[in-house]
Amino acid sequence: MKKVCIIGLGYVGLPTALLVSSKKVIVNGYDINNKLVKSINNKKLFFKEDNLNKLFQAKSVNKYFKAYNKIIESDIYVITVPTPIKKNKTANLNYVEKAFHEIAKILKKGNLIILESTCPIGTTEKFLLKLKKLRKDLTFPTNNYGKSDINLAYCPERVLPGNTIQELILNNRIIGGVSSLCSTKAKKFYNLFVLGKCITTNSKIAEMAKLSENAFRDINIAFANQLNIIAKKNNINIWEVINLANLHPRVNIHKPGPGVGGHCIAVDPWFLLDNHKSSNNLISSARLLNDSIPNYVIKEIKTKIKNKNKKINQIKIACFGLSYKAEIDDTRESPSIFIINKLIKLKLKKIFVVDPFVKVKKNIFTSNKNIIFTNSENAIKNSDIILFLVDHKIFKKINKKQIKNKIIIDTKGLISE
Ligand code: SAJ
């Protein structure tokens, strides 16, 4: 079987590398972070994922997978590097660019390159042109059926953090070849470990489909957040409204919350607008609305304090949840962190933080003054306000009697649903 090189050993790259090597295929992992490479080779995981540890200990993984700090010559190159967002809301493709440059140096006739990182429409074709310039000795695919020395496809990852391994195996995959032969070759690779359908198309459609999935979710969440604001003004329980509306067979309103976190839903809609600059459009309005929600929560806290005739610097608050969503330890772009940082600025007397999932808490906030990491009971006992920010299942077990005399702000419908 062909050798595979996975470039970028993060939340998607590492699980993919382990899965492929579990099929007795040699996998050369590559990451620019030397510390990460070492810790992976020592079998130390840097994030929690169901089933990842088990896979790490598998015999075939031990035998077939190794991480390196340089790209090792292989037959198939899979690029799973981050594509962060710049301040001007466009995609930073530096890591993708670097990966293509490095691959170009060792590219051989018969190689297949697969890009999985989330990218603006047209990125795969853009890098195809760059490859052509860098390696004039090789032939590259065109839009026809002809053969070429190199094959290239865009195959977006679609996994849900927290359930990565299961979703890598079971989810359907979009295989966007630059030519149909490229799609066929890429499909063969995914058939090695994917049980879902592998549907072939071209690279631009695959790029846009990925961005559309996440923009759909962002717009739907923005709609839920907008409804929540309207419901609050009318003193209505939004959770009951949404539950009832969703009884309609073709309605599926998402849930409001304290804002949208993570590295995907809050970023990808901007990539969709990369070549479509128009100040007034649905996608950017939804994005901006979701970005404004953490400040809306702060306003709600201030109003409730004022209504109780209390002074802000006398208030003790218990914040439930630090991760960007339920049941995970991931705090990337978490609205909770934004909100707690604002509370620090407001100089509340004490801020109790409860999150049984998040272990590394040092330097997570702009200051640690008045911040106390503690358990539910202690936080509730000592606080005036109970602020629910994440719907971890364990928080649902909180005894309502315990909090009945407190000011409650329940952004996730934990007790009000
Ligand atoms: N959120 C709400 N209301 C909801 C659902 C989510 O406020 O009804 C919030 C969450 O609390 C969180 C944020 O949105 O802060 C994003 O959560 P998420 O579960 O929608 O998405 P991610 O970022 O964890 O993972 C998404 C997934 N996309 C979809 O479910 C469509 C995943 O399948 C993608 O592979 C991943 O983005 C990605 O890499 O693009």
Q: What is the DSSP string of 236-304?
A: --HHHHHHHHTTSTT-------S---SSSTTTHHHHHTTT---SS-HHHHHHHHHHHHHHHHHHHHHHH
Give the pLDDT confidence of 130-168 residue by residue, as tens digits. 999 999 999 999 866 679 999 999 999 999 888 899 999
pLDDT at 279: 66
Do the Cβ atoms of 242 and 223 come closer than 8 Å?
no
Residue 265 CA to ligand 1 center (angstroms) comes to 6
Task: Based on the residue annotation, tell me whether 210 is a catalytic residue of this protein.
Answer: yes
Residue 263 CA to ligand 1 center (angstroms) comes to 9
Do the Cβ atoms of 77 and 113 come closer than 8 Å?
yes
Identified catalytic residue from 155, 198, 264, 319: 264
What are the backbone angles phi and psi of residue 305, rounded to the nearest 5°?
A: -65, -45
Q: What is the mean pLDDT of the chain?
A: 94
Residue 417: pLDDT band by 50, 70, 90 thresholds?
low
Angle between helices 94-106 and 123-134 (to 10 degrees): 40
Residue 48: pLDDT band by 50, 70, 90 thresholds?
confident
Task: Based on the residue annotation, tell me whether 264 is a catalytic residue of this protein.
Answer: yes
pLDDT at 238: 97
pLDDT at 145: 66
Residue 214 CA to ligand 1 center (angstroms) comes to 8
How far apart are the two ends of the chain, measured CA to CA in Å? 53
The stretch 37-55 carries a mean pLDDT of 85
Residue 151 CA to ligand 1 center (angstroms) comes to 32
Residue 408 has pLDDT above 70, yes or no: yes
Identified catalytic residue from 187, 210, 325, 412: 210
Which atom in ligand 1 lies closest to the alpha carbon of residue 118?
Answer: 40
What are the backbone angles phi and psi of residue 318, rounded to the nearest 5°?
A: -110, 120
- Closest residue by Cα to atom 31, ligand 1, is 214
pLDDT at 46: 77
Residue 97: pLDDT band by 50, 70, 90 thresholds?
very high
Place of tokens 């190199």: 150
Give the pLDDT confidence of 198-218 residue by residue, as tens digits. 999 999 999 999 999 999 999
Which atom in ligand 1 lies closest to the alpha carbon of residue 330?
Answer: 24
Residue 95 has pLDDT above 90, yes or no: yes
Place of tokens 């042109």: 129
Residue 359: pLDDT band by 50, 70, 90 thresholds?
confident
